[in-house]
Chains A and B, each alone.
Chain A
Amino acid sequence: MSESILQIRDLTVTFATPLGPLVAVRGVDLDVGAGELVAVVGESGSGKSVSFLAAMGLLPSTATVQGSVMLDGVQLVGASAKQMRSVRGRLLSMIFQDPLSALNPVHRIGAQISEMLRAHQKMSERAARARAVELLEVVGIPQPGDRAMQYPHEFSGGMRQRVVIAMAIANSPKVLIADEPTTALDVTVQAQILEVIQKVQKQFGTAVVLITHDLGVVARVCDRVNVMYAGRFVERAAVSDLFDAPTHPYTRGLLASLPQAGKERLVPIVGFPPNMLRPPSGCAFRARCADAISDCEHAVPELRAVGAAQSACIRAAELMQPR
């Protein structure tokens, strides 16, 4: 693994709610190498989006962020608003789930992209417009010159997401966070968008963090996978290892619920994610885990090496059998 460009250590995010503090992210560590494509996988509410919104400094004022997020040697946790502004969109940018609501409906596409450029580069309006058209071409939008003069509602869902990507890579950021970039799109368009993301990663050397709940998406594009559950990472592995020999019962559950050719039926994970206001003691997954034993209640299991992977299951080694 090359030198890591994004280094997250012990990241904890707490929300003040009327029902008391809610710890959405509980001590997360992650390294992303320059130009790498890393996946973060988890269910809704597992804290995966929140972690990276925290890195972007885009959480509402009710959130408290602790720990450390180093981007290219710069500490982002506790950075001033001015510092964060110079990082956002220049070194670190983000693609959101729903490209329709992510784009401002009343401004032209070209203007929205050139705004991003001019926020961080000394550039004339005309030069920024020209560069915006080039970027639209990079992400594969036909007739980019004409399209730049159009409004978001004149684009299809997939085209809109391409626009969002063009905007995000405008300043060749070091790290691009893609938060469920294909979830709101048609299945046929999803693959194209993933291709665009891969192309951008290669062409600009941008590291990509792909946040998703869809292991199918992960299998297609990523190198390494981090599985998140209830605010913690429960498994890290290379993609091939994860699919061949998952080490955590939760990962096994996710794989079993994945549709596959020739599979008779899907096996959903029983139960619901834990209430994050009052998380259970010990392993957060034990209530839904078929292999739970009494030891699982005692302590929160740490990530430990199991073969080439890391797992937060205390029975990982004993439960792993080659398929």
Chain B
Amino acid sequence: MPGSTQGSDLTDELLLPTVSPRRMAFNRFVGHRAAVASVFVLGTMVLFVALSPLTARYGVNEAVQAPPNYFLSPRANAWLGTDDIGRDLYSRLIYGVRVSLIIGFFSAIISVVIGCVVGAVAGFRGGRFDDITMRVTDLFLAFPFLVTLLVMRNMLGAIDWLRPVMGDISSVRFIILLFAIFGWMGVARIVRGQVLALKEREFIEAARAVGATRWYIVRRHLLPNSVGPIMVALTFSVVSAIIGEATLAFFGYGPQAGAGATSLGILVGQAKGAVNTGFWWLALFPCLVLVTIALSINFIGDALRDATDPRMQKDA
């Protein structure tokens, strides 16, 4: 990518890319190919989850066969093996991915909505509101996330008057809201940065000069210009919520989604116990699914950033 193209010799500059265009195209192709594959993988997973009555072979707590049925290695009636009480890992993965995806998407959407509002207001209004929100986000972002998450989880779960909103501490709703409470900060920073950058641009000044209202400017200029970064932020908050849930569940602080219901985190957490006994399938498959989901969403987010970053459009 050529660096600066200010000045008159724009075309001369464009003739001198430091990265050869062909290689760049190759690079982009690989990046996008990964993103396309990721969409396909993720789509397949969503389909499997949505059609769980058809795709899952057993109920969430159903044993695959009469005892002895525990710790069976992968076989015909349990494709990915069974756990300590004879439940089918393949079916439980489908149920677990369902809970994880719900947590990821809902908490990401809530974070993005809160983040957009707070970021836009902070950016437009500036002043004390801006100062305080940015200080708070700085503080939270600098602190070890896992520690904050655990401490805040316990605190929010112990406040009685929050329970009607947050739900019980071990519910899926609680986890979704918990991640939303942290997730908006990153989004707010991005949106605020966009607003500050846009405020300086001529077309906003022009719109203001002809008497456009603030809401009109937000709707017609700010939102269309921020869709790219917001989409990218959305994908990354989905990943961080899914991984975050798995982390909490791994240490036993995750959701207990009703009797026997499961999540990806719970399944990965079980792997901890399976390691030293050599029940490799219990460790390998949940980890593989988790990493696949995280990797796919990261690839999609990266491709979205490439596609929407105006700095990258020059060589399109």
- Write the residues of chain A forming the contact surface with B, with a CB cutoff of 8 angstroms: 15-18, 22, 24, 44-45, 47-50, 53, 59-62, 97-98, 101, 180, 183-184, 213, 273
Q: Do residues A61 and B16 form an inter-chain contact, with CB atoms below 8 A?
A: no
Q: How far is the CA of A213 from the CA of B12 in the complex (A)?
A: 12
Q: Do residues A183 and B15 form an inter-chain contact, with CB atoms below 8 A?
A: no
Q: Do residues A45 and B15 form an inter-chain contact, with CB atoms below 8 A?
A: yes
Which residues of chain A have C-beta atoms less than 8 A from B8's C-beta? 44, 180, 183, 213
Which residues of chain A have C-beta atoms less than 8 A from B3's C-beta? 101
Q: How far is the CA of A53 from the CA of B9 in the complex (A)?
A: 14
Chain B 21-62 against A: per-residue CB contact (8 Å), 1 yes, 0 no?
Answer: 110010000000000000000000000000000000000000
30 pairs from A and B in contact (CB 8 Å cutoff) = A15-B15, A16-B20, A16-B22, A17-B22, A18-B21, A22-B15, A24-B15, A44-B10, A44-B12, A45-B9, A45-B10, A45-B12, A45-B14, A45-B15, A49-B12, A50-B12, A53-B16, A60-B16, A60-B17, A60-B18, A61-B20, A62-B20, A62-B21, A62-B22, A97-B9, A98-B4, A98-B6, A101-B3, A180-B7, A184-B7
* CB < 8 Å neighbour of B11 from A45, A53, A97, A101: A45
CB distance from A139 to the nearest CB of B (A): 22
Q: Among the interface residues A16, A17, A180, A213, which one has the most CB atoms of the partner chain B within 10 A?
A: A17
Instruction: Tally B residues with Cβ within 8 Å of A.
Output: 18
Q: Do residues A62 and B25 form an inter-chain contact, with CB atoms below 8 A?
A: no
Which residues of chain B have C-beta atoms less than 8 A from A59's C-beta? 16
Q: How far is the CA of A78 from the CA of B9 in the complex (A)?
A: 27
Q: Do residues B12 and A18 form an inter-chain contact, with CB atoms below 8 A?
A: no
Q: Do residues A180 and B25 form an inter-chain contact, with CB atoms below 8 A?
A: no
CB distance from A260 to the nearest CB of B (A): 20
Q: How far is the CA of A321 from the CA of B311 in the complex (A)?
A: 50
CB distance from A322 to the nearest CB of B (A): 32
Closest partner residue, chain B, to A15 (CB atom) = B15
A18-B22, A60-B17, A213-B8 given. 4 additional CB < 8 A pairs? A16-B21, A45-B14, A49-B9, A50-B12
Which residues of chain A have C-beta atoms less than 8 A from B20's C-beta? 16, 60-62
Q: Do residues B9 and A180 form an inter-chain contact, with CB atoms below 8 A?
A: yes
Which residues of chain A have C-beta atoms less than 8 A from B17's C-beta? 60, 62
Shortest 7 CB-CB distances between A and B: which pairs? Answer: A45-B11, A62-B20, A49-B12, A18-B21, A44-B11, A44-B9, A17-B21
Chain B 167-196 against A: per-residue CB contact (8 Å), 1 yes, 0 no?
Answer: 000000000000000000000000000000
CB distance from B115 to the nearest CB of A (A): 34
Which residues of chain A have C-beta atoms less than 8 A from B18's C-beta? 60
CB distance from A99 to the nearest CB of B (A): 12
Which residues of chain A have C-beta atoms less than 8 A from B22's C-beta? 16-18, 62
Which residues of chain B have C-beta atoms less than 8 A from A22's C-beta? 15
Q: How far is the CA of A152 from the CA of B227 in the complex (A)?
A: 38
Closest partner residue, chain B, to A18 (CB atom) = B21
Contact (A18, B25) CB under 8 Å given A98-B4, A184-B7, A213-B8: yes
Which residues of chain A have C-beta atoms less than 8 A from B10's C-beta? 44-45
Q: How far is the CA of A98 from the CA of B17 in the complex (A)?
A: 18
Q: Do residues A97 and B7 form an inter-chain contact, with CB atoms below 8 A?
A: yes
Q: Among the interface residues A16, A44, A53, A101, which one has the most CB atoms of the partner chain B within 10 A?
A: A44
CB distance from B272 to the nearest CB of A (A): 48
CB distance from A186 to the nearest CB of B (A): 14
Q: Among the interface residues B15, B18, B20, B22, which one has the most CB atoms of the partner chain A within 10 A?
A: B15
Q: How far is the CA of A59 from the CA of B14 in the complex (A)?
A: 12
Q: How far is the CA of A266 from the CA of B25 in the complex (A)?
A: 42
Which residues of chain A have C-beta atoms less than 8 A from B15's C-beta? 15, 22, 24, 45, 50
Q: Do residues B7 and A98 form an inter-chain contact, with CB atoms below 8 A?
A: yes
Q: Among the interface residues B7, B9, B18, B21, which one has the most CB atoms of the partner chain A within 10 A?
A: B9
Q: How far is the CA of A48 from the CA of B6 in the complex (A)?
A: 17
CB distance from A231 to the nearest CB of B (A): 11
Q: How far is the CA of A98 from the CA of B5 in the complex (A)?
A: 10
Which residues of chain A have C-beta atoms less than 8 A from B9's C-beta? 44-45, 49, 97, 180, 183, 213
Chain B 213-253 against A: per-residue CB contact (8 Å), 1 yes, 0 no?
Answer: 00000000000000000000000000000000000000000
